[in-house]
Amino acid sequence: MITMTDPAWRPSPRAKQLWAINAALMWIPVFVAQIVWAVIDGRWTTWPHVAALAVTVASAAAHIVGVPLWRYRVHRWEISETAVYTLTGWFDQERRIAPISRVQTVDTERGPIDRMLGLATVTVTTASSAGAVKITALDKDVADKTVARLTDIAGRTPGDAT
């Protein structure tokens, strides 16, 4: 019987900051909606406004602090001469193994927050109906080396990636 181990490498430690910033940005519309509701209603200190604000603050704090820490504990990636292997998710966890012989393209993506934190995402597109394999929140130099290594391995691997 073969036992699978988790991939060896974690994302950058700055991934926690990236995920916290992204989570905080998701909560801005909720806070804006509550402020608009309070302004339109004209009674800021009534129990519905105070209760809604308390629930929102507690939920946002748990999401902004807790989810990045949990995701960092779970997220892993690894590349071998034969496959790209990722473990992702925080609530629903997914293991993906993409054989090198199925690799079609390897790309790097850097959004504005990624650039601010010096991070990048490596996307490995395969001939799979499950879609591309993403290795998120890598230090930029690690991402560049990963792309170069994957490109080299894929170029030496026989097959037509279909």
Q: What is the pTM of this model?
A: 0.86
Q: How far is the C-alpha of 90 from the C-alpha of 63, rounded, in Å?
A: 11
Q: What is the pLDDT along the chain (162 residues), one digit of tens a residue?
A: 666 788 999 999 999 999 999 999 999 999 999 989 888 888 777 888 889 999 999 999 999 999 999 999 999 999 999 999 999 987 788 999 999 988 999 999 999 999 999 999 999 998 877 789 999 999 999 999 999 999 999 888 776 655
Contacts of 32 (CB under 8 A, 6+ apart): none
Q: Please, which residues have CB within 8 angstroms of residue 133's CB and are 6 or more apart in sequence?
A: 84, 86, 96, 98, 123, 124, 126
